[in-house]
Structure 1
């Protein structure tokens, strides 16, 4: 049994089944990327405009020496910001996993101290029990896979509030940590896909059935605050939307490349005269 392997092709991640090395399926987040996000175009334009205004003298000086370099610098504003945020998110996720597993942290980078402190507050306020962390949810039926942050047991009172002394009713939930600016609705699609997968594959490539879950939650945690929120994952509505995106993914990456055949009639080739040939 081997470890699960992933590759990235045309911006999409694919997972390989460790039991069937020739079988690959798209990642959950790659499927969700099929969701239209027209606001991203306006956001990217705003990032570029703000960078141009905030560094106008620098950009003007660069443009005098290297016009294309200045263009590349400005158009990369959104990409660089996204990478910085992704780097912080990855480091924070690593921190959260260590903390919820009870590992000693040692020295923490100053930028991560607020995240550490807020996650510690979450652990104290909710007192969850870790069931699994950072394993892969795999759907044989629908052909997708994705790495989830955690499955937790949490104890809630009759109003759905955590009881850190674990006196309430136990609920098994699949959980996700988000370090983005806000909590966005597509997290429900992501969590629903994980929850409705057929099995879990661990770091050693060992599979077992997806356990029964009572729901899903997202921990939105930033350098300023944190909030633990329930997320809908029902199959009739939320998961059905994810499955439609899964079909669109297949259309975009496979079917669309097969629907137009070779031309069966077309314009005649342009005449090349002898004079033109000799001039080459």
Structure 2
């Protein structure tokens, strides 16, 4: 795995500069997370409703004994689902990396939840014969102040591509922003030595989408126009974190019974 230290503040992931611990920059996925997420409201509500229907016997009994506990069970249904998906993805990624490095993995030692994923990934390697240039390394952008860890840079059919492994239900548009950030970073910081080297010239990007039912290699546009959007989101991150502080001043005049924010806090 990539070797830069990370920390989490306010739900955001930061990477720590390898030579100056005072310098901390947001991670690529944190920056991409500035995109609107209206769809998550529907998804969370749907997940809670499904949890109620699928667990009605349990919920009906829990309501009688502990109504607050029943509410907590349902309102956290989407978090449980997200965690399960994240755990599966992490387990699969670890095994994918081992396969890329030429390790032989005994299927008997693979958890049943990811056994098919591992088999499909091995088939991808056999079919496409990628030549890996870098695996699980970190990029750093001095100019735009961000960092992140990518899955692979590989040569496939003579083209150098930035690759991302996905085990999610779908390949989402936001991955284009993610790959563009890796592609146009200033340098790769090697996990083994901490040495900085240039990011190689990359032709394009792709997602290897691996599910229990199969796999597919999906090309992703991650050129300069996409990177411009990522850079805009990087500015949005700064705005949300610190930029908006103090932009609304104290009233210079007021009348009637309207309270100021300071008066409400004092009360």
- Cα distance in 2 for partners of 1:70, 1:194 equals 43
Q: Deviation string for 1:62-100 (max 9, x for gaps)?
A: 111111111000001110000000000000000000001
Residue 218 of structure 1 is matched in structure 2 by 207
- Cα distance in 2 for partners of 1:77, 1:39 equals 16
Residue 136 of structure 1 is matched in structure 2 by 138
- Post-superposition shift, 1:22? 0.8
Paired residues for 1:81-230 under 5 Å = 81-106=81-106, 107-155=109-157, 170-203=158-191, 204-230=193-219
- Cα distance in 2 for partners of 1:16, 1:181 equals 32
Q: Deviation string for 1:204-254 (max 9, x for gaps)?
A: 42211111111111100111111001111110x211111111111110011
- Cα distance in 2 for partners of 1:216, 1:23 equals 29
Residue 33 of structure 1 is matched in structure 2 by 33
Q: Secondary structure at the match of 1:251?
A: helix
**Structure 2: segments with no counterpart, 5+ residues:** none
User: In terms of mean alpha carbon deviation, does 255-264 or 141-150 score higher?
Assistant: 255-264
RMSD (Å), alpha carbons: 1.7
Q: Which of residues 239, 244, 258 is equivalent to 2:232?
A: 244
User: In terms of mean alpha carbon deviation, does 34-43 or 257-266 score higher?
Assistant: 257-266
Q: Secondary structure at the match of 2:24?
A: strand
User: In terms of mean alpha carbon deviation, does 125-134 or 57-66 score higher?
Assistant: 57-66
- Post-superposition shift, 1:262? 5.1
Q: Secondary structure at the match of 1:22?
A: coil
- Post-superposition shift, 1:257? 2.1
- Post-superposition shift, 1:130? 1.1
Report the TM-score when normalising by structure 2. 0.90
- Cα distance in 2 for partners of 1:257, 1:225 equals 48
- Name the count of aligned residue pairs: 253
- Cα distance in 1 for partners of 2:147, 2:250 equals 35
**Structure 1: segments with no counterpart, 5+ residues:** 156-169, 271-280
- Cα distance in 2 for partners of 1:49, 1:112 equals 27
Report the TM-score when normalising by structure 1. 0.86
Q: Which of residues 221, 239, 243 is equivalent to 1:232?
A: 221
